[in-house]
Amino acid sequence: MKFVEEIKALCLPDKVVICDGSVEEFQKITEMMCRNKSLIRLKREGSFYARTDPDDVARNEECVFICTDDEDDVGPTNHWVAPQEMKKRLHQLFRGCMKGRTMYVIPYSMGVIGSPMAKYGIEITDSPYVVINMHIMTRMGVAALNEIEKGAKFCLGVHSVGRPLEEGEVDVFWPCCDEKVIAHFPKTKEVWSFGSGYGGNALIGKKCFALRIASTMARDEGWMAEHMLIMGVTNPQGVKKYFAASFPSSCGKTNLAMMKSSLPGWDVTCVGDDIAWMKFDEEGVLRAINPENGFFGVAPGTSLKTNPSAMRLIEKNTIFTNVALSDDGDVWWEGMTEKPPASLTDWRGNPWTPESHTLAAHPNSRFTAPVDQCPVLDDRAFDPEGVPIEGIIFGGRRSTLQPLVVQAKNWQQGVLFGAGLTSETTAAAKGAVGQLRHDPFAMLPFCGYNMAHYFSHWLSLEKPGRKMPQIFSVNWFRKDREGKFLWPGFGENIRVIKWMFERIEEKVPAKDEAIGYLPVTLDTAVEKLLTVDRLGYLDNIQQEREYFSLFGDQMPKELMRELDEMEKGLS
C-alpha cells in the first residue's frame, strides 16, 4: 500500500507492523506494554489497567476541525480550516513524529464484515494502547484487510501521540503532546489526529469515522449516522420493538441500553450503546446496525445496582482507563460500592483513602469491553441487515423544565425535539461541567457538516411509503428545589419505555399538549414530571429561536414554523 510508505516516510517510525487482529497479537502488545509499565495486568481474567497523562483525559472539542473547500459546508458549530492549509500544518506536525516508535497499521471494519451497511477503515497509529482498544472496539485484522484489498472503499486515519523518542530516551507511561489537532477531510475520507491518545480523540473508528465522516456519507447517500444506542424491548406477550436513543456523552446511554427492567415481563436487550447507522430498506423500514464491536463505557456510577449487566460485561477481557486501582490488583470507582475500600491508588497514581478530598477515579474514566460479552446482548445484534427501528428517543440532562417524556405529534415536530436538544455538560469533554448547552441530536461535537443542513437531511427522510418511527423526548434528570432527582431512573425507566411502546401500538391514551403528547398518568408520584411549565416553555422557545438564528437562512423554515406553532399553542 503506497500510502503506508508515504506516511512512514513522513513520520519516520523505527518500524512498521501490519496488524492481523489475532489473539496472539493482542497478547504480544499487552505483554510489551506491561513490561514497559504503560499497562498493568489486573487480577480479572484477561484484563488490564492504563493510566493517562492527567491532561489527556477526555475528548478535546476545541481541537476538532472539519476541512472542506467551502466554509459554509461545516457551519457555525464546527471549526473550519481549508484543506490545503490544514495539510500543511499536519505535515509539519507529523514530520518525524514517530521517531523511536512503532507504526501500527490497523485495517478494520465498522459493522459485521460483509454486511451491506459495514464500512472499512485503516488506522495508522504509534500508540499500542490504541491498537489494543481497536482490537476490542472494531473488527480489525486480516478479514477487514481482505475486503479493502478486494476494492472496498475505506476511511484513512493517521494518528500520532506526537511525542517522538530520541535515541536511548526512556518513554513516559502515557506519551502525548500539548498541541492537539484532530482534522477531518470528508471529501477524501481522511482523519489526521495528533497529540492525544485518549478515547474518541485517538480511536479513529469511533467518533471521527463512524460519526463525523460517516455523517457526511449518510447525507450524500440518504442514510443516518447517529450518536445513538440501540435497544430491543420485549413486552410480556413476547412482542419486540427496537428503539434508538440519542443522549450526549455521559448521560446514561450505556445504562439505558443494558437496563434491568423493574417491570415483570418486560425485557431489554442491547444492540449498541453509542453509535447507530440507520437506513430505510426497500419495504420502508428503518434498519439500524451498531458499527462498533465493543463498549467504551463511563466507569463511575456503574454498579450492581445501576447496571448489573455492565458489571458482568466487564468481568473479563476488559481494559480499564483512569479508574482507581485496589491493593489486590483490581479496580474501583466512585459509585461501584457504597463503601469505598480502605485504601486505593487513584487515577493519578497517588495513594488514596476515603478521607482523601479528591476523586479516586477520573469522572471520565472508562472500560473497553467486547460487545459479545454483554449478558443481555440482543439475539440480532450482529444481524448484517440491521434491526427495525420503531421508536427514536432524544434525551438530555436537564434539571428543570423538560418533562419526563413527550411524544412528537409527527416527524417534523420530532425533528424539532432533536434540533432543540439541550443538556448540561459532562466530563466526557474537556471544559466546565454542568453548564446548559444546545446539543442538537447529541451530535454537536460529532456532526461532520453544517448542522442546519443536517436538520434538513432529517426532515427529508420522511417519504411516502416509509414507516416513520415515532419520536419521543425524555428527561431522567429533573431535580427538585433541594437538588434531588425527581425520577429514580435506571431500571424504572422501563415504565417510560413501556408507555412509548404502547403509544407506538396505539394502545394507550395521551394528553394532547402544544409541546406534544404526554402520558395521562404514569403514576401519581411523577405528576410533577408530566406537567407543562407553560411560561418556562415560552422562555425556552425564545432561547431556541436565538440559537437557531446562528444558522441564518440555512435554518430549515419547516422547523421555525413548527416552533411558531408550538408557541401559539402555549400562549
Task: Closer to ligand SAT by CB, 206 or 478: give it.
Answer: 206
| Least Å from the CB of residue 248 to ligand SAT | 8
Answer yes or no whether residue 200 interacts with ligand SAT by CB under 6 A: yes
End-to-end, the C-alpha distance of the chain in Å comes to 64
Residue that is written with C-alpha cell 415515532 in the block: 470
Q: For residues 57 and 428, what is the distance between their CA atoms, to the nearest angstrom?
A: 8
Contacts with Mn ion, residue ranges (CB under 5 A): 249, 274
From the list 45-53, 64-72, 198-206, 373-381, the region that binds ligand SAT by CB under 6 A is 198-206
The Cβ of residue 434 has, within 10 Å, a number of other Cβ atoms equal to 10
Q: Choose the one of Mn ion, ligand SAT, none that binds residue 404, judging by a C-beta under 5 to 8 angstroms depending on kind.
A: none
Cα gap 324→173, rounded to integer Å: 16
| CA torsion through residues 34, 37, 39, 43, sign | positive
Q: Determine the interface stretch with ligand SAT among 186-194, 200-208, 213-221, 238-246 (rule: CB under 6 A).
A: 200-208
Alpha carbons 357 and 471: distance in angstroms, whole number? 43
Cβ proximity to ligand SAT: between 241 and 366 the closer is 366
Nearer to ligand SAT among residue 365 and residue 450 (C-beta): 365
- In whole angstroms, the minimum distance from the beta carbon of 200 to Mn ion comes to 7
CA dihedral 384, 390, 396, 402 (to 10 degrees): 180
**Nearer Cβ to ligand SAT (294/340):** 294
104: which strand partners? 17, 125
CB of 446 to ligand SAT, least distance (A): 8
How far is it, in rounded angstroms, from Cα 215 to Cα 226?
7
| Spatial separation of the C-alpha atoms in residues 413 and 427, rounded to whole Å | 30
Whichever of 194 and 266 has its CB closer to ligand SAT, that residue is 194
Burial of 30 (0-12, 13-18, 19+ CB in 10 A): buried
Q: Is the dihedral of CA 110, 114, 116, 121 positive or negative?
A: positive
Site string for ligand SAT, 244-263 (x = CB under 6 A): -----x--------------
Nearer to ligand SAT, 344 or 427 (CB): 427
Options 199-207, 323-331, 354-362, 397-405: segment touching ligand SAT (CB under 6 A): 199-207
Q: Which does 59 bind (CB under 5 to 8 A by kind): Mn ion, ligand SAT, none?
A: ligand SAT
- Of all residues in this chain, which one has the CB nearest to ligand SAT in the complex? 200
Q: Which is nearer to ligand SAT, 164 or 200 (CB)?
A: 200
Contacted by 199, from ligand SAT, Mn ion, none: CB < 5 to 8 Å by type = ligand SAT
Selected binder of ligand SAT within 180, 184, 206, 287 (CB under 6 A): 206
Task: Decide if residue 428 touches ligand SAT (CB under 6 A).
Answer: yes
With CB under 6 A as the contact rule, the residue among 296, 352, 476, 487 that binds ligand SAT is 296
User: Is residue 316 a contact partner of residue 47, using CB atoms and an 8 Å limit?
Assistant: yes
Grid cell for residue 485: 432527582
> Least distance (Å) from ligand SAT to the CB of residue 116?
26
Residue whose C-alpha is closest to residue 196's, from 370, 60, 293: 60
Q: How far is the CB of 386 from ligand SAT (least distance, A)?
A: 22
- Describe the strand order of the beta sheet including 344-345 as a list of residue ranges: 331-332, 324-326, 344-345, 351-352
User: Helix crossing, 128-137 with 23-35: angle to 10°?
Assistant: 150
User: Could you tell me the smallest distance in angstroms from the CB atom of residue 449 to ligand SAT?
Assistant: 18
> What, of ligand SAT, Mn ion, none, does residue 206 touch, CB below 5 to 8 Å by kind?
ligand SAT
Binding flag, residue 430, ligand SAT (CB under 6 A): no
Contact call for residue 207 and ligand SAT (CB under 6 A): yes
The torsion of the CA quartet 447, 451, 454, 455, rounded to 10 degrees, works out to 130
Residues 43-82 that bind ligand SAT (CB under 6 A): 59
Cβ 243 vs Cβ 500: under 8 Å: yes
Instruction: Count the alpha carbons within 13 Å of 166 in the hemisphere toward its beta carbon.
Output: 1
Partner from ligand SAT, Mn ion, none binding residue 296, C-beta < 5-8 Å depending on class = ligand SAT
**x/- binding map, residues 209-228, to ligand SAT, per CB under 6 A?**
--------------------
Is the CB of 105 or the CB of 202 nearer to ligand SAT?
Answer: 202
Of all residues in the chain, what percent are helix, strand and coil, respectively (each to 5)? 30, 25, 45
Closest CA to 68 of 153, 189, 155, 159: 189
Q: How far is the CB of 451 from ligand SAT (least distance, A)?
A: 18
How far is residue 522 CA from its own chain's centroid? Answer: 30
Cite the DSSP H helix spans in 448-556. 451-460, 493-504, 534-549
CB of 445: closest distance to Mn ion in angstroms?
Answer: 9
Q: Is 217 helix (H, G, I), strand (E, B) or coil?
A: helix
Separation of CA 110 from chain center = 14
Catalytic residue among 251, 270, 374, 447: 251
Closest separation between CB of residue 444 and ligand SAT, Å?
Answer: 11
Active site residue 251: yes
Residues recognised as catalytic: 251
Residue ranges that bind ligand SAT, judged by CB under 6 A: 59, 199-200, 206-207, 249, 296, 428
